[in-house]
Amino acid sequence: MRAPRTQFAAPQKLLHWSMAALIIAMLFIGVGMVSTVAPKYLTLLNIHKSLGIVILVLALVRIATRRHYGVPPLPADLPFSIRFAAESSQYLFYALMVAMPLIGWGMLSAASHPVILFDALTLPAILPVNPNLYSLLRRTHDFLGLVFFAFILMHVAALLFHKLVRRDGVFDTMTPSLFPHSRHSAPDMPYDQMDRSSGGRPSHE
């Protein structure tokens, strides 16, 4: 058994922040692309499909990471309602991260519309062609996109609440560890400095 940690592990933080950026971009691209007929519609649509599959893969990695590292405990004095909201919302985020790309992929399959990633890779259909299924999945995809954004807003509000009002350290469990105390310095140093400090080694010329 590990001792309870006070922070998420570095790979978890990296996944959290990179996926946060990707998912927020995805949601904006999603509502933006369906509201325009300009040529950027096609560019946005291609990015949306490609990023969606990237997010699906990252979400699966992230779930594995969570199983491996666990999560830092919430403050012991957290009221039940807040604890329940905090924990259940995390599972909801995981569910959305996995479900949204699959629903998007599935709805395009049901509409017999090809899914091409990065202008290169054509994905196979994952569902049979079916107009009713398409309509159902498309409405679900639209609706869950709005739900996802609303949850992100609530998530941000909750974390700011922890940071600014409760000041209970929950916010800091996920802050990037840019300045860790135990930095193994040598490999991160610029090469020219490394050469100088390592003395006799000839520098590249």
Partner 1 sequence: MDNSGQKSKPITLEALGVIGTTIGIASLAFVFTAAWLTPHRLTPEKIVSALKPPGGPALGHRRNHAKGICFMGTFDANGAGSELSRSTLFESGSYPVVGRFNIGNADPATPDPMAQVRGLGVRIMAPTGQEWRSAMIDAPVFVAPTPQAFLELLKAGASKDPNAIKQYSEHHPEMQTFASWAKSHDRTESWTEDRFNSLDSFVFVSREGLRSTVRWSLVPMSKAVTIPTDELAKRDPDFLQEDIVQRVQSKPQDWRLMVTVAGANDPTADPTRAWPVDRPTVDVGILHVNQIQPEADGPCRDVSFDPTVLPKGIETSDDPFPAARSAAYRVSFNKRLEEASQYPRTQPEGRP
Contact region for partner 1 (CB under 8 A) — 54-62, 93-101, 116-124, 176-184? 116-124
CA pair distance 185, 13, nearest whole angstrom:
21
The 3-class secondary structure across 5-64, one letter per residue, is: CCCCCHHHHHHHHHHHHHHHHHHHHHHHHCCCCCCHHHHHHHHHHHHHHHHHHHHHHHHH
- Asked if residues 48 and 30 have their Cβ atoms less than 8 Å apart, the reply is yes
Minimum CB separation from partner 1 for residue 31, in Å?
4
Nearest Cα neighbor of 58 from 100, 120, 113 is 100
Give the x/- contact pattern for partner 1 in 136-175, rule: CB under 8 A.
--x----------x---x--xx--xx--xxxxxx------
- How far apart, in Å, are the Cα atoms of 65 and each of 11, 18, 27, 48, 107? 8, 14, 24, 25, 29
Report d(CA 140, CA 99) in Å as an integer.
10
Q: How far is the CB of 13 from partner 1 (least distance, A)?
A: 18
Which of 69, 161 has the CB closer to partner 1? 161
Nearest distance from residue 45's CB to partner 1, in Å?
A: 8
| Closest to partner 1 by CB, 65 or 170 | 170
Q: Compute CA 161 distance to the chain's CA centroid, rounded to the nearest angstrom.
A: 22
CB closer to partner 1, 13 vs 163? 163
Q: Looking only at residues 24 through 83 of this chain, which bind partner 1 when binding is defined by CB under 8 A?
A: 27-28, 31-32, 34-42, 75, 77, 79
Contact footprint for partner 1 (CB under 8 A): 6, 27-28, 31-32, 34-42, 75, 77, 79, 111-114, 119-120, 122, 124, 129, 131-132, 134-135, 138, 149, 153, 156-157, 160-161, 164-169
